[in-house]
Structure 1
Amino acid sequence: MKTLLESNSCTSRRQFLKATAMGALASVVAPAFVRGANLNSRLQVASVGVNGMGFTDVSWIGSHKAVKFVGFCDVDTTRFGKADEAHPGVPHFQDFREMFSKLGGQFDAASVSTPDHMHAYIALDAMRRGKHVFCQKPLTHTVWESRQMRLQAEKSKVITQMGNQIHSHKEYRTAVELLRDGVIGKVKAVHSWVGVQGNNYSKLQAPPSPGPVPASLNWQVWVGTAPMRDYAPDVYHPFKWRDWQDFGSGALGDFGCHILDPIFTALDIREPMTVRAEHDGINQQVWPVSETVHYLFPGTRFTADGTLPVTWYDGGRQPDKSLAQMPESAKLPGSGSLIIGEEGNMVLPHVGMPQLYPVKKFRNFDIKAESQLIHWHVWVEGVLSGKKTSDGFDYAGPLAEAVQLGNVAARFPGQELKWDAKALRITNHAEASARLTKQYRQSWEIHAVA
């Protein structure tokens, strides 16, 4: 299918960006919600995970006038308070399987805001029931799961969206517009980074002594697909799970789907050809304290060459500032991207407006900010209209695959892994290829999309 840019050379890139952001490129049949003639009908949403980022999702999804919550699920009964205050009277569940089964045809869509290791299991269950899904980044816990999410969304013909909300922010949308307009020319290389460490939350290298499971917590369901381990207070739940390989995805998983997103969108990159990682502080339990991940992507019409190097840094690592041609007094942001073009460079702070260098060349260049969208409403409107979003699993799946491929490379430092996306395998390293998926706990297995 041709994009608007390809089908009409007179169509502006500004129009293209607006159209894709609102999900206007293509429509699909939406099986779980048909508004029809009843304009007063509401989208019935069941939410899994309702505190922390889960409450953010509940708040923004629920701010759309067409949404009605019909179920709140959280493994910890102490964490319903904020959601209850905002939306009184919504039934509570501790196990999403019970919620999905009891609600049956009484819900149209689900939001998934849990630790990474449970995203795919819950979202796939919902989609196989014909439900539309909003799922937090990094979408999944493994490369294989990301592929299954994309395939199931396509098979079930549901409207999906990943919760990397910066995708809809004016800062990233403006950067995408500038890059697609060729303001810095064709792109030669990209450097992206985040300041946090891969074991930033617990600061631990191994599981500590176990403790009693709180009466409010269903630990069996919290562990879910992962190998069973003892509960330890203030180590995994809440939030510190991100450090642990069994549950989270480290700094790259936490921020890669945010910071790399405008690069994927603007430059039309998708599957890397190779990936190689260098790092400090990894073991069999936790993610690296700091790392550098080198990707090589096939070139596109927006790149200078037949290949595009994209380098990721975290844990305090950054690219050489001199590459940006910034003034001596300027500093790279704590997190963001440096995009090197044939005719100039862009520094894109994480959730900040793009900056163009060298200053002398772009001193009089007027950056026109794009509009800000409400990311969660884009998904709701997609469900109501039956039109795909620009951040659906057909786009977010490959982005998440690339991010999780970096985490595979982290387990084999210094080794260049050759990626065959079509075959879903690493062609030169059997052990690394086996890491594209994981072992699931008995009765928590995920089955491939048939």
Structure 2
Amino acid sequence: MKEEKQKNVPTNRRDFLKTGALATAAFMIVPRHVLGRGYVAPSDKLLIASIGVGGKGKSDVAYFDKSGKANIAFLCDVDTRRAADSVAAFPKAKFYKDWREMLDKEHKNFDAVSVSTPDHNHAIQAFAAMQLGKHVYVQKPMAHDIYEARILTQAAKKYKVVTQMGNQGASNDGTRIMKEWYEAGLIGDIHTIHAWTDRPVWPQGIPWSTAKTEIPKELDWDLWLGTAPNKNYVNKLVPFNWRGWWDYGTGALGDMGCHLIEAPFSILNLKYAKDVQCSVGSVYVDEFQRGYFPESCPPSSHVTLTFPKTEKTNGDVTLHWMDGGIQPERPAELGANEIFGDGGNGTLFTGTKGKMMCDTYGLNPRLLPLSRNENLQVAQKYARVTGGSDGHYKQWIEAAIAGYGKQEVSSPFEIAGPLTEALLMANLAIRGYDIQKEVLGEEVFPGRSAKLLWDNDAMRITNFDEVNQFVKRNYREGWKNIAL
């Protein structure tokens, strides 16, 4: 790894980090940058500081360790109860509750940072690490709003760090196989894509609880809130049900979109969408009235995005996203009892000469009708990632050890950024429903027939300004918005 340079640490670093004296912890393994340019530590292992080490963070840390090429140097979590298993698994790793304190005091003692926290804190944590010259692995989606995703994409290039988003299916063989099929002309020119999921499996489309709940003693609620507005603790919000609330999560799109839409982006080199429209499901407050709760994601949605022509297509590409159990019409080429996708989730590609589909993570790719897969032989063009989705972690570690620009990764921010923006742009249309209803009136405009037009350079919707408030959040007092 290249020597960590002081010029990569901005003068405003303490906008992210609280005041504190820099301290050096004693380690048997010396961080690579301490040895100087061109030298590596005797272990040749990446020293990782992990933010969020319960739940998904627990498995992320375990996979880093399983690679055999990483040492878990620091652990950080706002909930000691959730962090307990990781702390037990890595007793030599120093533990912190506040990630800002960890970066402030220990940044000379590690090489890379992994971020496995709720969506609303991804960007500020990853950005602070990149400003310190640290390679970053960030769980999907890499950001909570479009502005954050754009800034992180630019920051990876500016600070010359190796990045990877945690949509591990990007390292599976399936996407590469379908790319080879497509480039061999087996389904013609792809013009329409459908992706669907049975998520959410957490509460959505409900009002915020007014019940007062005691905060668990192991949880630092203020640190958990981070950039989000200050609100009272709600029972069962942590560790999982935050996904259904806009202040913290990004709904089913944020949870599953990165897994189901990665393949279309990779196969067709999709970048930024140019327009979006949607319809959403609602819930019944009582037998006479339907309810809409703008703080909470809807129980179901159907979003349509249009992507401009790429070098891999003959024209624009239409992508349909469906969640809450909604599925597209079964293709005529699929038998009546043959499974559509994996049953609850899937991605369908429609071309001018045929169709293909896959399961979540790009798994189980097949042409339609299924008889086309018998004795199918297409030459391999693209190298496979050893270990597939499990190898996603090791791939990033090896690339970080090699240094910026030396080795490929499956989901660098250069690719993950536009993908994440597409999902968050879909959420713009979903969130705009209530605004449209309020501003224009339900009788005049029900909120389901507008096509929102996107100016990518300006990062704004040009024909419905009210929705632009969701492009960039304002962080609560004491947490400064990221900016290059």
Shorter-chain TM-score category?
0.7 to 0.9
C-alpha separation between the residues in 1 aligned to 2:191 and 2:463?
Answer: 27
Partner of 2:436: none
Return closer, same or farther for 1:98/1:37 CA change in 2, 3 Å cut-off.
closer
Aligned-pair CA distance for 1:60: 0.8
Partner of 1:6: none
Whether the 8 Å contact between 1:29 and 1:158 is mirrored in structure 2 is no
C-alpha separation between the residues in 2 aligned to 1:82 and 1:176?
Answer: 40
1:229-248 CA deviation, whole Å, 9 max, x = no partner? 101221x1111110111000
Partner of 1:403: 423
Task: Please tell me the residue identity of whatever aligns with 1:407.
Answer: N
Residues 219-234 of structure 1: pairs in structure 2 closer than 5 A: 219-234=221-236
Whether the 8 Å contact between 1:174 and 1:353 is mirrored in structure 2 is no
Return closer, same or farther for 1:83/1:425 CA change in 2, 3 Å cut-off.
same
Partner of 2:338: 330
Partner of 1:91: 94
Partner of 2:318: 309
Unaligned runs of 5+ in 2: 6-31, 283-291, 434-447
Whether the 8 Å contact between 2:120 and 2:227 is mirrored in structure 1 is yes
Partner of 1:389: 409
Aligned-pair CA distance for 1:192: 0.6
Residue 352 of structure 2 corresponds to residue 342 of structure 1: yes
Return closer, same or farther for 1:207/1:434 CA change in 2, 3 Å cut-off.
closer
Residue 307 of structure 2 corresponds to residue 290 of structure 1: no
What is the aligned counterpart of 1:135 among 130, 134, 138? 138
C-alpha separation between the residues in 2 aligned to 1:58 and 1:378?
Answer: 14
Whether the 8 Å contact between 1:44 and 1:70 is mirrored in structure 2 is yes
C-alpha separation between the residues in 2 aligned to 1:273 and 1:29?
Answer: 39
Residue 124 of structure 2 corresponds to residue 121 of structure 1: yes
Compute the RMSD of aligned alpha carbons. 2.0
Whether the 8 Å contact between 1:142 and 1:438 is mirrored in structure 2 is yes
Aligned-pair CA distance for 1:361: 4.6
1:188 aligned counterpart, secondary structure: strand
Larger Rg over CA atoms: 2
Whether the 8 Å contact between 1:188 and 1:308 is mirrored in structure 2 is yes
C-alpha separation between the residues in 2 aligned to 1:212 and 1:152?
Answer: 39
1:412 aligned counterpart, secondary structure: helix
Aligned-pair CA distance for 1:57: 0.8
C-alpha separation between the residues in 1 aligned to 2:229 and 2:80?
Answer: 23
1:125-164 CA deviation, whole Å, 9 max, x = no partner? 1111111100000111000100011111111111111000
Whether the 8 Å contact between 1:193 and 1:312 is mirrored in structure 2 is yes
> Kindly, what percent of the aligned residue pairs are identical?
35
1:265-312 CA deviation, whole Å, 9 max, x = no partner? 110110111111111135212111110000011122332x42111110
Q: How many residues align?
A: 417
Aligned-pair CA distance for 1:437: 1.1
Task: Please tell me the residue identity of whatever aligns with 1:115.
Answer: P
Task: Please tell me the residue identity of whatever aligns with 2:324.
Answer: G
Task: Please tell me the residue identity of whatever aligns with 1:299.
Answer: K
C-alpha separation between the residues in 2 aligned to 1:85 and 1:50?
Answer: 11
C-alpha separation between the residues in 2 aligned to 1:56 and 1:177?
Answer: 31
2:432 aligned counterpart, secondary structure: coil
Whether the 8 Å contact between 1:225 and 1:441 is mirrored in structure 2 is yes
Q: What TM-score, normalized to structure 1? A: 0.88
Whether the 8 Å contact between 1:277 and 1:412 is mirrored in structure 2 is no
Whether the 8 Å contact between 2:204 and 2:299 is mirrored in structure 1 is no
Whether the 8 Å contact between 2:133 and 2:159 is mirrored in structure 1 is yes
1:419 aligned counterpart, secondary structure: strand
Whether the 8 Å contact between 2:196 and 2:346 is mirrored in structure 1 is yes
C-alpha separation between the residues in 1 aligned to 2:50 and 2:181?
Answer: 36
1:202 aligned counterpart, secondary structure: coil
Aligned-pair CA distance for 1:64: 2.4
Aligned-pair CA distance for 1:78: 1.1
1:57-82 CA deviation, whole Å, 9 max, x = no partner? 10111122231122100101112222
C-alpha separation between the residues in 2 aligned to 1:362 and 1:232?
Answer: 50
Partner of 1:356: 367
Aligned-pair CA distance for 1:423: 1.9
Residue 329 of structure 2 corresponds to residue 320 of structure 1: yes
Aligned-pair CA distance for 1:220: 0.3
Aligned-pair CA distance for 1:171: 2.6
Query: Which of 76-85 and 113-122 deviates more?
Result: 76-85
Return closer, same or farther for 1:250/1:367 CA change in 2, 3 Å cut-off.
farther
Partner of 1:265: 266
2:86 aligned counterpart, secondary structure: helix
C-alpha separation between the residues in 2 aligned to 1:203 and 1:30?
Answer: 47
Aligned-pair CA distance for 1:329: 2.5
Return closer, same or farther for 1:278/1:30 CA change in 2, 3 Å cut-off.
farther
Residue 100 of structure 2 corresponds to residue 80 of structure 1: no
Aligned-pair CA distance for 1:213: 1.1
C-alpha separation between the residues in 2 aligned to 1:204 and 1:292?
Answer: 15
Task: Please tell me the residue identity of whatever aligns with 1:410.
Answer: I
C-alpha separation between the residues in 1 aligned to 2:379 and 2:325?
Answer: 31
Task: Please tell me the residue identity of whatever aligns with 1:401.
Answer: E
Unaligned runs of 5+ in 1: 1-27
Partner of 1:154: 157
Return closer, same or farther for 1:68/1:428 CA change in 2, 3 Å cut-off.
same
Partner of 2:465: 430
C-alpha separation between the residues in 2 aligned to 1:228 and 1:176?
Answer: 46
C-alpha separation between the residues in 1 aligned to 2:206 and 2:137?
Answer: 32
Partner of 1:379: 396
